[in-house]
A and B are shown apart, each in its own frame.
Chain A
């Protein structure tokens, strides 16, 4: 199986992707026959009320969940048949995650949190140190490198999470309601940082959000309702 990522293919190419959950006797369709395409450097917002399937779509796109049916090519690579080890490797190489509640590792310093993906990739620590310092400077946290996450504000923590997600320059950034825990001013700052870094590096972004002001920053908006793309 050829799993080499291709530069000229769309980063995300989903066709007819469906996922349903069994709740007792009934089958709940969380995502129905979704067709999604996101190209390099494109920032796509995913909107819809709570329970409409945004997270489900992001989990499948981020290779942390599997679809029941349909096809998903990540940068030209068919992902449907891959085993867990390959999916883990693809996540490590090609996908960055930003979570609603930051999910930083509390025993690691800010710098170590950002360095972690490089460490997983086996990048030498001297190179990693440089890239981490550069990344922290970009998100405006150069002076917080030695701090622990619990010494930071919410906005600062999310900026650390952005640095962590983008330090390895992934093909795809998955952000599930990244501003939901932040006040509107901080949310604006965070979105601006994501946008700037992704456009610069050509990273494709899929961002789930309720926030109308956030969607205004995006290149395109996909609306979901009851698992169906409108």
Chain B
């Protein structure tokens, strides 16, 4: 009974995670076209990104081909995401707290991947242990390493962030009660997880078996089902599941909205070409009704942006 409740919780949590991420991504992607608001350096500007130049540096730029470089974007994105390069450069003290936290979470995401792989291998009859052949041993050692490093770093970072937000007035003044809760939630989950792993499941065998059962909807062979989580591991799984469901519901969803921030805004330098897709979208937006009330606009909810832009401004002002 407890087992199936736990499995159910994990399924629901994973479902919420996926649904929340998808819903937010769709909502952002569906927003109307916006005016250009790029910020240089734009990483995909081939040959110019290093100093922040744009295609607008060319004479008659509209007659020339534009070269966008995916490698250029990756060169910025990878260190930015993995190492928090920007925080390292502009806020070193904060990096010392933020980097272990974020990197710890990346490792824990990696741990989930390894446990899934481990679960699959177990189901396929492969032995995951130090003596389990090349593949089995590799997954075993990697899980061990990534798991403890992730839990340790994540906990260190979360605790350091919580301490800063509690004791440094510059941060305290900007920290909401909900933020304390979020960080405390991380700290508590990571403490429980670390203790549970160290005491009840030091080699991640229980966790791996749990993933195998998740993958088979609890219809795994009997020996897998035997490795059922005890109370401590059960608590770990429950808290981790809840945390996974909770993250995308908060501002911590920045882990993926950052993609939009960079691609749709900072690096969106796509020109509006006559007859192109952007022109169509703009033409549509220009027909949205306006209801701004200031005297120079007097939007009444029927006037469109075209009406506003072409209005006789002196009459609008009532002069």
**Co-assembled chains A and B:** no
The residues of A with any CB-CB pair to B shorter than 8 Å are: none
